């Protein structure tokens, strides 16, 4: 039995995520976790909310709530929605938890002792009215280059020139609008990633089996410009993890917090500790410390491409630099972006479908199936309502749902709601078993390799095989001459439905569970081989005809939704 540690990129706290965020990390991670559990492996699947940073503070202010309260509420909201999508986290933690505070401060101390943290005094823009230092993007003014009046402190959106906040004419805070700004001296900690460049590079070079998307982004950062740059890991903010050197104060760093991108990945570890503290587990170090039982763990991370630099460079630099035997990631599965109807999903403009809205339209299986079978693995991919409608109606309702329906209803009308006896396997059945055996093997190989689209294609092909078999075997015709032979065909077909429940569960857990319940299947453990799997339901076992598993999306609904989600979400 293998041991799989699986983490999904942790979603930021400032609102409900859209379908593009979901398909880029949490959903494929869940697919993999469910598959590995089904194979009988030990799995720890962790996710959390990423709660620190300026955007969280601003979102809380906009909501008129203290930031801690806002984060606690949004965490609950996100947890509930994750549950709605059947994301099977073993724990859904919070980066603001005490475990992460301790651990982040611990790492900072270790890195400082190793000479990998440098104190740097620099100038940053301070806003008196806001009472805070402002990140470059929160300062706007007139571009000295083109005269555009809403140029941001980091870059002018009009002429695209890179800017420094001090370059702006009439700079003001985008938070308060105040022009009462000044450059002030402030001290920050920098993680000396540059020192570890060679070590990180040879580590990346050794990962020849990783997706090119992952390694190419990592290499770009390693070689871009002057090479891997040191990174500031502290900020002048109130909301975050106080800068401390382990248990001790950090002289000169009073009132500062760690930068969100420093503490967020550490939450992957802290989350395991939360999992234990929540009473769900007993030993988190067994998953994270190679000196305490984690040597045989295989660690897989899932994320969108925007998160790759931090997971391939910054976080590894953090845990390797500590000099302690932490588990380092074995495989990083990264995804491109999902676009929406010819443009991008946009959180700020409310363009596209958000997770809560999706669940209000249709059950999670519909979304899970479409999103996973169209996962943006090799390039950006596109959500269109037409495509969603045709895929869901065809694949789920017609191919799978209708198969279960026709088999169970035919049996009920001819033999009652009991698996019928009689009949023997002939050439058609042998061919079916041969075909299915090969397909199930391919399917498992694709799931193992996290080839999400290809796995979904193979699963669909497996469903199609059932319909082909029925067409060839034609029990409705055979029944007229030889009811016994028809019974054999039906018994095999019922077993096919049961097999589909098992194989489909990682993609569409709710429908799989409905089929399993209807078929009287106790557990959904993976079949050793197809022949034995097709004998799971025996003569005389009772079953029920389930309600239609999937309904179809109508043209009217499509038209309405298309219009509804094109606009702006408040």
Interface with RNA includes 205 (CB under 7 A)?
Answer: no
Which one among 216, 418, 421, 563 touches RNA, defined by CB under 7 A?
216
* Distance from C-alpha of 20 to C-alpha of 303, rounded to nearest angstrom: 11
Q: Is 159 labelled as part of a ligand binding site?
A: yes
Which one among 401, 420, 423, 506 touches RNA, defined by CB under 7 A?
401
How many Cβ atoms are within 10 Å of 363's Cβ, its own excluded? 17
Cβ atoms of 531 and 492 closer than 8 Å: no
Q: Is 347 labelled as part of a ligand binding site?
A: yes
Least distance to RNA, CB of residue 227, Å: 7
* Distance from C-alpha of 231 to C-alpha of 313, rounded to nearest angstrom: 11
Strands 151-152 and 139-142: antiparallel
Q: Which window, 105-113, 224-232, 292-300, 433-441, contacts RNA (CB under 7 A)? A: 224-232
Cβ atoms of 531 and 499 closer than 8 Å: no
Least distance to RNA, CB of residue 122, Å: 8
Which one among 306, 417, 430, 560 touches RNA, defined by CB under 7 A?
306
Q: Which of residues 140-179 bind RNA (CB under 7 A)?
A: 153-155, 160, 162
* Distance from C-alpha of 276 to C-alpha of 17, rounded to nearest angstrom: 27
Q: Which window, 27-35, 49-57, 420-428, 429-437, contacts RNA (CB under 7 A)? A: 49-57
Tell which residue, 150, 136, 151, has the closest CA to residue 181.
136
* Burial bucket for residue 370 (CB in 10 Å: 0-12, 13-18, 19+): buried
Q: Which window, 17-25, 378-386, 500-508, 533-541, contacts RNA (CB under 7 A)? A: 378-386
Which one among 202, 379, 424, 532 touches RNA, defined by CB under 7 A?
379
Least distance to RNA, CB of residue 350, Å: 16
Interface with RNA includes 390 (CB under 7 A)?
Answer: yes
Q: Is 234 labelled as part of a ligand binding site?
A: no
Interface with RNA includes 477 (CB under 7 A)?
Answer: yes
Interface with RNA includes 9 (CB under 7 A)?
Answer: no
Nearer to RNA, 275 or 415 (CB): 415
- Helix, coil or strand: residue 352: coil
Cβ atoms of 13 and 51 closer than 8 Å: yes
Interface with RNA includes 208 (CB under 7 A)?
Answer: no
**HEC readout, 475-506:** HHHHHHHCHHHHHHHHHHHHHHHHHHHHHHCC
Least distance to RNA, CB of residue 343, Å: 7
Nearer to RNA, 156 or 534 (CB): 156
Nearer to RNA, 285 or 510 (CB): 510
Q: Which of residues 320-359 bind RNA (CB under 7 A)?
A: 337, 339, 344
Taking the CA atoms of 167, 168, 173 and 175 in sequence, report the sign of the dihedral they define.
Answer: negative
In Å, the largest CA–CA distance within the chain is: 93
Least distance to RNA, CB of residue 134, Å: 7
Q: Which window, 271-279, 498-506, 543-551, 560-568, contacts RNA (CB under 7 A)? A: 543-551
Interface with RNA includes 531 (CB under 7 A)?
Answer: no
* Distance from C-alpha of 197 to C-alpha of 165, rounded to nearest angstrom: 30
Interface with RNA includes 102 (CB under 7 A)?
Answer: no
Least distance to RNA, CB of residue 542, Å: 19
* Distance from C-alpha of 231 to C-alpha of 190, rounded to nearest angstrom: 5
Q: Is 156 labelled as part of a ligand binding site?
A: yes
Interface with RNA includes 232 (CB under 7 A)?
Answer: yes
Least distance to RNA, CB of residue 295, Å: 32
Interface with RNA includes 550 (CB under 7 A)?
Answer: yes
Least distance to RNA, CB of residue 24, Å: 12
Q: Write out the two tokens for 452.
A: 């999400």
Q: Which window, 302-310, 350-358, 512-520, 535-543, contacts RNA (CB under 7 A)? A: 302-310
Q: Which of residues 10-29 bind RNA (CB under 7 A)?
A: 12
Nearer to RNA, 57 or 274 (CB): 57
How many Cβ atoms are within 10 Å of 342's Cβ, its own excluded? 8
Interface with RNA includes 554 (CB under 7 A)?
Answer: no
Q: Which window, 75-83, 316-324, 406-414, 442-450, contacts RNA (CB under 7 A)? A: 406-414
Q: Which of residues 257-276 bind RNA (CB under 7 A)?
A: 259-261
Q: Write out the two tokens for 566.
A: 């094109």
Q: Which of residues 241-260 bind RNA (CB under 7 A)?
A: 259-260
Nearer to RNA, 294 or 450 (CB): 450
Nearer to RNA, 294 or 407 (CB): 407
Give the DSSP H or E segment for 99. Answer: helix 98-113
* Distance from C-alpha of 319 to C-alpha of 106, rounded to nearest angstrom: 11
Q: Is 411 labelled as part of a ligand binding site?
A: no
Q: Which of residues 432-471 bind RNA (CB under 7 A)?
A: 453, 457, 464, 467-468, 470-471
Least distance to RNA, CB of residue 406, Å: 3
Query: Which DSSP string do the residues of 234-303 spell out, in sequence order?
Result: EES-SSS-B-EETTEE-TT-TT-EE-HHHHHHHHHHHHHHHHHHTTS-S-SHHHHBGGGT-TTEEEEEEE
Burial readout 182-215 (b: 16 or more C-beta within 10 A, e: otherwise): eeeebebbbbbbbbbbeebbebbeebeebbebbb
Interface with RNA includes 53 (CB under 7 A)?
Answer: yes
Nearest 10 degrees: CA dihedral of 215, 216, 222, 224?
Answer: -170
* Distance from C-alpha of 267 to C-alpha of 290, rounded to nearest angstrom: 18
Least distance to RNA, CB of residue 332, Å: 16
Number of chain residues interacting with RNA (CB under 7 A)? 78
Interface with RNA includes 186 (CB under 7 A)?
Answer: no
Phi/psi for 133 (5° steps) reads -75, 145
Q: One symbol per residue from 482 to 521: x for binding RNA (CB under 7 A), - otherwise; what is it?
A: ----------------------------------------
Tell which residue, 370, 391, 345, 377, has the closest CA to residue 25.
377
**Binding-site residue ranges for ATP:** 347
**Binding-site residue ranges for Zn(2+):** 143, 146, 156, 159
């Amino acid at each position: 039995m293998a041991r799989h540690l699986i983490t999904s990129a942790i979603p930021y706290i400032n609102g409900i995520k859209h379908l593009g965020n979901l398909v880029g990390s949490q959903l494929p991670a869940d697919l993999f976790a469910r598959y590995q559990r089904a194979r009988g492996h030990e799995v720890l699947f962790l996710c959390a909310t990423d709660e620190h940073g300026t955007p969280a503070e601003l979102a809380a202010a906009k909501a008129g709530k203290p930031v801690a309260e806002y984060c606690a509420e949004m965490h609950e909201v996100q947890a509930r929605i994750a549950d709605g999508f059947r994301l099977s986290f073993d724990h859904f933690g919070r980066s603001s938890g005490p475990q992460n505070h301790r651990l982040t401060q611990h790492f900072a101390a270790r890195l400082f002792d190793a000479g990998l943290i440098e104190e740097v005094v620099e100038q940053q823009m301070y806003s008196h009215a806001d009472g805070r230092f402002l990140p470059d993007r929160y300062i706007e003014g007139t571009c000295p280059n083109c005269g555009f009046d809403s140029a941001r402190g980091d870059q002018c959106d009009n002429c695209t020139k890179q800017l420094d906040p001090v370059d702006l004419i009439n700079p003001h805070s985008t938070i308060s609008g105040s022009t009462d700004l000044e450059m002030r001296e402030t001290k920050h900690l920098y993680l000396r990633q540059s020192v570890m460049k060679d070590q990180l590079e040879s580590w990346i070079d050794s990962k020849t089996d990783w997706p090119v998307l992952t390694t190419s982004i990592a290499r770009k950062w390693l070689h871009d410009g002057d090479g891997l740059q040191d990174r500031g890991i502290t900020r002048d903010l109130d909301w975050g993890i106080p800068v401390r050197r382990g248990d001790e104060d950090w002289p000169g760093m009073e009132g500062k917090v760690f930068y969100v991108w420093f503490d967020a990945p550490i939450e992957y570890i802290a989350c395991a500790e939360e999992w234990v503290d929540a009473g769900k587990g007993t030993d988190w170090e067994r998953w994270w410390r190679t000196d305490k039982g984690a040597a045989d763990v295989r660690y897989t991370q899932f994320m969108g491409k925007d998160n790759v630099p931090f997971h391939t460079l910054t976080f590894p630099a953090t845990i390797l630099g500590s000099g302690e035997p932490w588990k380092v990631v074995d495989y990083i599965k990264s995804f491109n972006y999902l676009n929406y109807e010819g443009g991008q999903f946009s959180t700020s403009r409310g363009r596209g479908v958000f997770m809560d809205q999706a669940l209000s339209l249709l059950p999670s299986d519909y979304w899970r199936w479409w999103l996973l079978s169209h996962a943006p693995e090799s390039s950006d991919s596109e959500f269109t309502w037409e495509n969603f409608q045709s895929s869901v109606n065809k694949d789920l309702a017609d191919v799978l749902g209708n198969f279960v329906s026709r088999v169970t209803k035919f049996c009920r009308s001819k033999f009652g709601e009991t698996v019928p006896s009689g009949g023997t396997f002939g050439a058609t059945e042998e061919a079916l078993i041969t075909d299915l055996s090969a397909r199930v093997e391919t399917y498992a190989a694709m799931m193992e390799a996290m080839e999400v689209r290809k796995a979904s294609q193979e699963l669909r092909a497996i469903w199609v095989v059932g319909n082909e078999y029925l067409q060839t075997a034609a029990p409705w015709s055979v029944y007229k001459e030889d009811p016994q032979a028809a019974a054999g065909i039906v018994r095999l077909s019922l077993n096919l439905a049961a097999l589909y429940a098992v194989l489909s569960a990682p993609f569409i857990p709710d429908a799989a569970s409905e089929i399993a319940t209807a078929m009287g299947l106790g557990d959904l453990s993976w079949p050793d081989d197809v022949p034995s799997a097709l004998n799971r339901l025996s003569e005389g076992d009772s079953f029920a005809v389930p309600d239609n598993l999937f309904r179809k999306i109508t043209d009217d609904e499509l038209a309405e939704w298309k219009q509804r989600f094109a606009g702006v979400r408040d």
